[in-house]
Structure 1
Amino acid sequence: MENANAGPVTMEDVLGALNGTDPLNTSASKIRAILGRGSFATLQKHLDALRAAAKAAQEPVSLSAVPSAPPEVIAALWSAAYNAAGHQLAGKLASCMTERDALRAAAIAAADDVATLAAQVDALEQETAAAHASSEAALADCAAARKELQAHQARDSADRMRLATAAEADVMAARHALEMEKRDRTIERQTLQSTVNSLTDQIGELKALLSLQARQPIAQAVQP
């Protein structure tokens, strides 16, 4: 007697128990051992239908007399194909859902990355603006320093020109004073030399006069 709780054994159950095994190479007892339920009569009925379908598939079929496929076999094959397609579709659906979840997580991560990059770009733009402002200020300071340096160089050049002119004037004045002093010394030396010469002449004349005067008394004393 069939197990009422498990339900009657169907052709699909028998096909599942066969799992690709040739129905000609098995028995109802083996099918029941695999399923663990079902009456031998029901199992044998399904097994006979499958054996008949297998034999019909192996025998050459005349085109003029094609036997109709057993409805139970067609129903079982359709049910098996439908369930297989359902399992395949469920697998594909699960794979698609997994891929969808992965893509959603990747999209969320990409959105976070975009937000982070946007924040970094904003910070970089602010830093660039600050650096540009600092550069402009530095350029302005450099321009002011250059102008001040040029003015200082102009003042230094003017001061050097004045100092050079004054130094040249001082040198010329000193040279003129030296020349005048040399001339005065020359005049003084010439005057002194003239005085010395005159004194020498006068001394010579005095010596001659004294010598003459000294000889006159002697001459007077010698005269008779």
Structure 2
Amino acid sequence: MDLFGTAGIRGGVEERVTPSLALAVGRAVGAEIRSRADESSPEPTVVLARDGRVTGPALAAAIEAGLAAGGVEVRRAGRLPTPALAHASRGRYGVMLTASHNPPTDNGIKLFRDGTEFDRDAERTVEERVADEAAVAPWDEWTEATRTDPLDGYLDDVREYAARFGAPLDGLRVAVDCGNGMSAPATPTVLRELGADVVTLNGNVDGHFPGRGSKPCLLYTSLMA
């Protein structure tokens, strides 16, 4: 079973990245984490986040159910930029529901371990567990998700890194086209706090991508000039 491509699992939500698949992947990841319970790191906890796509809440509910039935602790982070989820997964696991620049009819699943996306061997193990219909944990080991909000900590670290290693932005005028995606709550804020004069386009998160197509291209860049 080949589920993963070059950047996780992606595809249309009506035929590929369905709630049924999300549930199965959640169970598979839960089983894989349980099998590593004796390892000292990372901790057997999953931070779960999604982008702004309309289908995100339903898929998040499905994968959360699979993880919880798999007996692992789930920390529900809501909507986040993918790098913020990777940052939050340091020392634990992470699941990001996003299809990046794909059209709004698509969604996807990315898996992280200790701040890094699963390598091909780890992805293959998940594929095998999905194919084998990974068993759930005993009923009294099922878990209930808790809420977490890692965005501020991520933004603080980005600001600190940029201030230490980047060039000063004071007086620099910057146009940022967020494309109605998850850069909207992050990129303009950080640039302003670093001193830039920021003009934001398509700065509201909207899974229909009404401002422009979800995939950036030179045409959209030229329109910003």
- Normalised by the length of structure 1, the TM-score is 0.18
**Structure with more helix by fraction:** 1
Greater relative contact order: 1 or 2 (C-alpha under 8 angstroms, separation 6 or more)? Answer: 2
- Normalised by the length of structure 2, the TM-score is 0.18
**Structure with more strand by fraction:** 2
